Structure 1
Amino acid sequence: MSVDLLKKTTMKEVAELAGVSVATVDRVLSGRAKVSPHTKERVFAAIQQLNLQQQLSIDSSNVEVNEPLRFLFLSESGVNFLRSIENTVMEIREQFSSQNITIHTKSLYPFNVEHFIELLEVSSKQYDAIVLLCREDPAISACVNKIVKAGCPIVCFTTDLCDTSRLSYVGPNHVSAGRTAGSLMGRYIGPCSGEVVLVVSAPYRSQYERELGFRRVIREQFPNLTILESFNNHDLDEESYDSLIKLFNSGVKPLGIYNVTGGTQGVAQALKEKGWSNDVVFIGHELNDGSYDLLSQNEVDIIIDQDLKSEVLTAINVLMHHFERLQKEPVQTTSAPIITLRENMGAKIG
């Protein structure tokens, strides 16, 4: 990547957003000096985010804005992630007001399929488009297809509904995230033979894809490791804790744990109660206040995160292009996993 890719974005803006110095940005772009992969990733992500914001502004000034557009982020997930989505949308929504676009959020917790379908159907009549985060369910997929056919476009966000006529998927590459977790797990454990626990869930495709990627890497590259499952159907801390304590008390002491679901604090609590926090490699997902504290206290080794702000902007970008408010079609709607360790976690969120 060269300095030309900054377009109108200045190095100072990139440095501020990435949390590095201007000199570091220059080194990354020029390639003249060695910079850590994590720092490069932060710099490139900052450039992409700033250029996307500028493109939205530039392209929207070249088209006539007529009727107002109302986009809805409709989500069902764990409480922490729902809060993260709402906070992110609130942070960026004002930049679209001059383009006569308003961004809204709704969520449902705890999940009930009938209530969610009702909310989805009602929302499709109130908003021009929906950015949807939800679990896989045949009834939900049928509802999505009906809504899209009626003229309300839907973008799947963070987790996909592949069997629907949704407009696009925007979010992480979860197979890549799972493969990353598998590679890190195997390398952290080393040549020791033993068992690793995969804390799994049922409903979300994102979690299925993480599991798939993890299993493939362990099978292909680390034959010294055997995978056991622990089930957490509702992404709850108490479910993670209960299922793991039961497994531990049966005589299992794993070499590592990969949690593809919510409930990271429950996993950490179970390990701490057994006195194994420093003995078992623990990899989880989603950097939030709770997982930040676990990282700082050495109760989790790695958190695999996503660039939620860029993904929210990309989802809006997809819809703006659909409604001909943005001339250029988004070229990339999936994002790479972000690896967070205690050593690079930065300042606390919020």
Structure 2
Amino acid sequence: MKDLAEAAGVGVATVDRVLNERPNVSEAAIERVLGAAERIGYPTGKLEAIRLDATRPIIRFGFVLHKPSQEFYRNFARALEAAVEERADIRGRCDVRFATSQAPSDFASELTQIAKTADVLATSAINHPTLTDTIRTLQDHAKPVFSLLNDAASGVQQSYIGLDNVKVGRIAGWMIATQIREPGKVAVFIGGNRWHGHILRETGLRSYLRDHASQLELLDAIVNLETRQVTYEATLDLLDRHSDLRGIYVAGGGMEGAIEALRESRPAGKVALIVNELTNESRDALSKRYVSLVIATPLDQLCRELVDLMIKAAQGGMSENSGQHYLLPQLFVPESL
């Protein structure tokens, strides 16, 4: 490698980056190293592949998610990396980060930092004026930003991609009303009042029950901060205070707490529990019928379509109008497993 570096007139570190196809090396440096390798007979069969690879444009993707402790978001991060890696038409560089909390300032800080090296961004951020201003600033500086799962800055961001959350809520209502025929009460958990997607799911649930299941009364939404413990304690309290509780819909995170509380307090299927996203825990609860329905985001499809949209925005310029890109949810019942 020292001989090759001397022949090419570059440092050994540059030779290493070229031969191992690492980022941050210019096309001119690549050509110098490859040309020198051919002249001195450097023993590698990768020269043509490296040269062809060098013709593909580099696009740097930045993703900011939250809740790294939750299996769903870890799966999401892996699916994003895989979707970038499988693109043969570009040299994709993928940087996935997690906000340290759900505070708007933490999301804004991560987005601002990652934008220093990324060409195009996507985030699962909450709705807040601080985030809207941050995303607007990034867009004004030609950094397209896409919202994932939650429509974080509608009308400002490049596009939203995820489920139609009103429809998701109506599906949850349909399942509860189908399973439970007697009059009674239904509870809904939302992560917080800054989650636009959760509020839309609550709206969809309420509208379905009003239209088709007037015998079921929807209680006021409970904020669970998407945490297991808060959901667990609140579910036990609901079951204690409402002997006629017929259904629970966890519109965001924290479903593990509701599952645990029902396991301890009620026979399987006595209360219809609807949750989002298929994980090891929700799959197990579904198989044992403590969960009636899992409404899941098709992660692989979302990530492939997102990466395609991000490439178009990075290469073809940003759209002047913010859009919405809806995917069909995946529905899992006990008999699906």
Same fold (TM over 0.5): yes
How many residue pairs are counted as aligned between the two chains? 277
Identify the residue that residue 26 of structure 2 maps to in structure 1: none
Match of 1:159 among 150, 169, 172: 150
Aligned-partner Cα distance in 2 for 1:69–1:165:
22
Identify the residue that residue 106 of structure 2 maps to in structure 1: 115
Deviant stretches of 4+, over 4 Å: 64-67
Is 1:295–2:286 an aligned residue pair?
A: yes
Taking a change above 3 Å as real, the CA distance of residues 110 and 162 of structure 1, as seen in their structure-2 partners, is: closer
Taking the TM superposition and a 5 Å limit, the aligned residue runs for 1:184-203 are 184-190=175-181, 192-202=182-192, 203=194
Aligned-partner Cα distance in 2 for 1:187–1:65:
56
Match of 2:270 among 268, 276, 279: 279
Aligned-partner Cα distance in 2 for 1:166–1:297:
41
| Native 8 Å contact 1:88 1:312 kept in 2 | yes
Aligned-partner Cα distance in 2 for 1:252–1:182:
20
Tell me by how many angstroms 1:253 deviates: 3.6
- Structure 2: which 5+ residue stretches go unaligned? 1-53, 318-322
SS class of match (1:96): coil
Root mean square deviation, CA, Å: 2.2
| Native 8 Å contact 1:74 1:131 kept in 2 | yes
Identify the residue that residue 131 of structure 2 maps to in structure 1: 140
Taking the TM superposition and a 5 Å limit, the aligned residue runs for 1:1-350 are 67-77=57-67, 79-96=70-87, 99-190=90-181, 192-202=182-192, 203-229=194-220, 231-324=222-315, 333-345=325-337
Aligned-partner Cα distance in 2 for 1:128–1:233:
35
Q: Deviations over 1:141-176 (max 9, x none)?
A: 111111111110101111112445211111111111
Q: Deviations over 1:222-243 (max 9, x none)?
A: 1111011352332111110111
Aligned-partner Cα distance in 2 for 1:166–1:139:
13
Taking a change above 3 Å as real, the CA distance of residues 332 and 233 of structure 1, as seen in their structure-2 partners, is: closer
Tell me by how many angstroms 1:95 deviates: 1.5
Aligned-partner Cα distance in 2 for 1:342–1:165:
40
Q: Report the more deviating stretch, 212-221 or 81-90.
A: 81-90
Aligned-partner Cα distance in 1 for 2:55–2:307:
16
1:102 partner amino acid: R
Aligned-partner Cα distance in 1 for 2:210–2:198:
18
Aligned-partner Cα distance in 1 for 2:106–2:187:
34
Tell me by how many angstroms 1:177 deviates: 0.9
SS class of match (1:315): helix
Aligned-partner Cα distance in 2 for 1:325–1:122:
24
Tell me by how many angstroms 1:279 deviates: 1.0
| Native 8 Å contact 2:97 2:110 kept in 1 | no
Q: Report the more deviating stretch, 86-95 or 208-217.
A: 86-95
Taking a change above 3 Å as real, the CA distance of residues 230 and 208 of structure 1, as seen in their structure-2 partners, is: closer
Tell me by how many angstroms 1:200 deviates: 2.3
Q: How high is the TM-score relative to the length of structure 1?
A: 0.74
- Structure 1: which 5+ residue stretches go unaligned? 1-63, 346-350
Tell me by how many angstroms 1:205 deviates: 1.5
Aligned-partner Cα distance in 1 for 2:55–2:178:
53
1:186 partner amino acid: A
2:332 partner amino acid: T
SS class of match (2:214): coil
Identify the residue that residue 14 of structure 2 maps to in structure 1: none
SS class of match (2:116): helix
Q: How high is the TM-score relative to the length of structure 2?
A: 0.76
Q: Deviations over 1:299-338 (max 9, x none)?
A: 2111111111111111111122223479xxxx98211221
Aligned-residue identity in percent: 21
Aligned-partner Cα distance in 2 for 1:201–1:90:
26
Tell me by how many angstroms 1:134 deviates: 1.0
Q: Deviations over 1:66-108 (max 9, x none)?
A: 6411011211246222201112123333222552222231112
| Native 8 Å contact 1:268 1:277 kept in 2 | no
| Native 8 Å contact 1:196 1:226 kept in 2 | yes
2:62 partner amino acid: L
Taking a change above 3 Å as real, the CA distance of residues 324 and 91 of structure 1, as seen in their structure-2 partners, is: closer
| Native 8 Å contact 2:249 2:273 kept in 1 | yes
